[in-house]
Amino acid sequence: MNDTATPRDGRAQARSQELFTAAKRVIPGGVNSPVRAFSSVGGAPPFIKRAQGAYLWTEDDAQLIDYVGTWGPALLGHAHPEVVEAVCKAAADGLSFGAATKAEVEFAERICSMVPSMNGGMVRLVCSGTEATMSALRLARGFTGRNKIVKMDGAYHGHADMLLVAAGSGAATLGIPGSAGVPPRMVEDTVLLPHNDVSAVEQLCTEQGDQLAAIIVEPVAGNMGCVPPRPGYLERLRELCTEHGIVLVFDEVMTGFRVARGGAQERFGVTPDLTCLGKIVGGGMPVGAYGGRREIMESIAPVGPVYQAGTLSGNPLGVAAGLKTLELIDRDPPYAELERRSARLAEGLAQHAAAAGLPFHGNRVGAMLTGFFRAGPVHDYADAKGSDLERFGRFHQQMLARGIYLAPSQFEAAFLSASHDDAIIDRTLEAAAEAFAAIG
């Protein structure tokens, strides 16, 4: 199939609609993760049959420019030939052993060499971002002997019970404040604070610092839309955690290997005690990881008393995809070009929105960005929720009609890949100019 063909109308057409109807009979809501149902933007979701580079192809044979990037993992573009080759080779040697392998040692060494908080430390592989955050917080509790954890309003750290309090991402999209099925006692040790608010953290630490096991934060929030840290915020979190013996956990499931080779901690120069990874670390396969300071990691079984396990952890296919992805990042670092092209896209979107007379505010950190349909800056979840969601929904539909596939929620980031070249950015900006004019 030709990668340079002009995108066609990606709004769900006959085949996707049929499949969605069939899916809803056997899968709750027709999808295996809620935001995929397009509830907040309307219309049926396009069903995808193939992806390559910056493009998706739908079951209706529409070609779409993809800014979802499988929700972040596709940093190098979809189906990078060397990653696919590595996975095929691993598959030929057996799909899963549930035993130690040489490749997982190489993978762990490479992760530890790239992520500052793991330099000289350790990492444990799991199968998803949810597992990584859940396990890191159990570890922080086991290590400190304290129970309370702190999370920020609008942050999403996966769907573990204790973290489903004021969660962003799909939960924000659906307007679900928490979740049915989470007994109140599961979240009574979860303290909720506004994001990006230094004084709220200072006050909590003064009052309860000696009871806090961990503060978990998305160093660049991505699940209320992209929200950069205010200057000094991450630094102050670091100081407070050190002062009060609290484990600082950066959830870099989204930002890891995206906003810089060493993630947000490298970009902002703040090193947490533990880091959670997912998405890019698996190169498109179901891999998560958590790691950091050696003395904390040595509390994990079988060395220490904190239990965590997984039948498919360190699965050879996931390890092959992740290892190859990290090798490719080091062989040909994509970050300078990603920065330049993402800046072009963000600036172009802001200009076209202004030309159409629309209230619009763009946030961007590296190759992750969100255009909020509101006038003022967005520093936290309350700001993000002040966006015009109905207008975002119409913009989304207009972009899809022009072959541009954006995340179907105002509370998500757009991701660029190394395959999003200048011609693709130009086409996106042309589509955006028309879409802004159409919804004005």
Ligand X SMILES: Cc1ncc(COP(=O)(O)O)c(C=O)c1O
Interacting residue ranges for ligand X, rule: CB under 6 A: 71, 128-130, 133, 156-158, 169, 218, 222-223, 251, 253-254, 278, 288
Q: Which residue is closest to ligand X by CB?
A: 129
Shortest separation between residue 93's beta carbon and ligand X, angstroms = 26
d(C-alpha 414, C-alpha 261), whole Å:
18
Shortest separation between residue 283's beta carbon and ligand X, angstroms = 13
Closer of 288 and 334 to ligand X (Cβ): 288
Closer of 66 and 388 to ligand X (Cβ): 66
Contacts of 260 (CB under 8 A, 6+ apart): 266, 267, 335, 366
Closer of 154 and 288 to ligand X (Cβ): 288
Shortest separation between residue 207's beta carbon and ligand X, angstroms = 27
d(C-alpha 110, C-alpha 254), whole Å:
18
Shortest separation between residue 218's beta carbon and ligand X, angstroms = 5
Residues acting as catalytic residues? 156, 251, 279
* CB contact burial 210-225 (16+ within 10 A = b; e otherwise): eebbbbbbbbbbbbbb
- For tokens 């806090």, name the residue: 212
Closer of 167 and 212 to ligand X (Cβ): 167
Closer of 60 and 131 to ligand X (Cβ): 131
- The answer to whether 289 and 126 have CB atoms below 8 angstroms apart is yes
d(C-alpha 326, C-alpha 110), whole Å:
8
Shortest separation between residue 145's beta carbon and ligand X, angstroms = 25
Closer of 71 and 436 to ligand X (Cβ): 71
Shortest separation between residue 33's beta carbon and ligand X, angstroms = 7
- The answer to whether 124 and 289 have CB atoms below 8 angstroms apart is yes
d(C-alpha 63, C-alpha 57), whole Å:
5
- The answer to whether 157 and 151 have CB atoms below 8 angstroms apart is yes
d(C-alpha 158, C-alpha 131), whole Å:
8
User: What does residue 262 show for φ and ψ, rounded to 5 degrees?
Assistant: -95, 20
Closer of 39 and 211 to ligand X (Cβ): 39
DSSP secondary structure letter of residue 351: H
Tokens representing 79 are 């189906």
Contacts of 415 (CB under 8 A, 6+ apart): 67, 68, 69, 71, 72, 74, 75, 258, 367, 368
DSSP labels, 169-230: HHHHHTT-SS-TT--GGGSTTEEEE-TT-HHHHHHHHHHHGGGEEEEEE-SSB-BTB-BPPP
Shortest separation between residue 26's beta carbon and ligand X, angstroms = 22
